[in-house]
Chain A
């Protein structure tokens, strides 16, 4: 199956700082990548759809100025959590789709103190 990586796997930061998470498709090109967040014992919540070379499409209720997404190449999308606060602490997962289905990265656990 297709492989998607994420970096870092976990990060701890102070409130007010910004955190960048990278998502890479390792063995295929992805014109579309997706960013999700997941709270404990809950399902995945789609945050935004990232399209290579164009602006991301954000889901209702997701602040685009807080969660900056850049999809600069066919294998890399980044999510930057700006001015992070403790309520942003969560598990962030990206996915990429070579065809009709999606392959997920291993996730990034963010803890904001």
Chain B
């Protein structure tokens, strides 16, 4: 079993849809959970950062962490074509980040 599992998609939604992206993990030592957005040929951009369990909201983005289920989610409300990118979940216990494979999202106008 891989440390972090993420459905690679691709995921295609119409503009305005609510998007749900998810990752599961196996290492109970993970405490820091992040979501990155990566456009083609660019470095990853930090979207959301959560410590331990709980929810965090920033504009149209909501990150959820459920440590009991080892499951994290990113919700995007009112999705826009500019949200089209690959979304990477990442997590760590101390120093190194462990990434999911990324989910490619396309938001169609």
In the bound assembly, the distance between CA atoms of A4 and B99 in angstroms comes to 19
Most A CB atoms within 10 A — which of B88, B92, B97? B97
Select the stretch in B14-22, B45-53, B59-67, B76-84 that faces chain A. Answer: B45-53
The answer to whether A46 touches B96 (Cβ under 8 A) is yes
Q: Which residues of B contact A49 (CB under 8 A)?
A: 95-96
Known: A44-B44, A106-B43, A107-B43. A100 touches B100 (CB 8 A): no
Place the interface of chain B in its size category.
Answer: 20 to 34
Task: Answer whether residue B70 sits at the interface, using C-beta atoms and an 8 A cutoff.
Answer: no
Q: Which 6 A-B pairs have the closest CB atoms?
A: A104-B43, A107-B43, A106-B43, A104-B44, A43-B101, A100-B32
Contact with A along B11-37 (1 / 0, CB 8 A): 000000000000000000000101010
In the bound assembly, the distance between CA atoms of A32 and B36 in angstroms comes to 19
In the bound assembly, the distance between CA atoms of A32 and B95 in angstroms comes to 9
Q: Which residues of B contact A46 (CB under 8 A)?
A: 96-97
The answer to whether A93 touches B43 (Cβ under 8 A) is yes
Q: How close is B81's CB to chain A, nearest CB, in angstroms?
A: 21
Q: How close is B3's CB to chain A, nearest CB, in angstroms?
A: 12
Interface residues of A in 56-113 (CB under 8 A from B): 91, 93, 97, 100-107, 109
Q: Which residues of B contact A42 (CB under 8 A)?
A: 101
Q: Which residues of B contact A1 (CB under 8 A)?
A: 46
Q: Which residues of A contact B100 (CB under 8 A)?
A: 43
Chain B residue nearest to A109 (CB atoms) is B41
Chain B residue nearest to A100 (CB atoms) is B32
- Give the residue of A6, A102, A107, A109 whose beta carbon is less than 8 angstroms from that of B97: A102
30 A-B contacts (beta carbon < 8 Å) = A4-B43, A32-B95, A34-B96, A42-B101, A43-B88, A43-B100, A43-B101, A44-B44, A44-B88, A44-B99, A46-B96, A46-B97, A91-B41, A93-B43, A93-B44, A100-B32, A100-B92, A101-B46, A101-B49, A102-B46, A103-B46, A104-B36, A104-B43, A104-B45, A104-B46, A105-B43, A106-B42, A106-B43, A107-B41, A109-B41
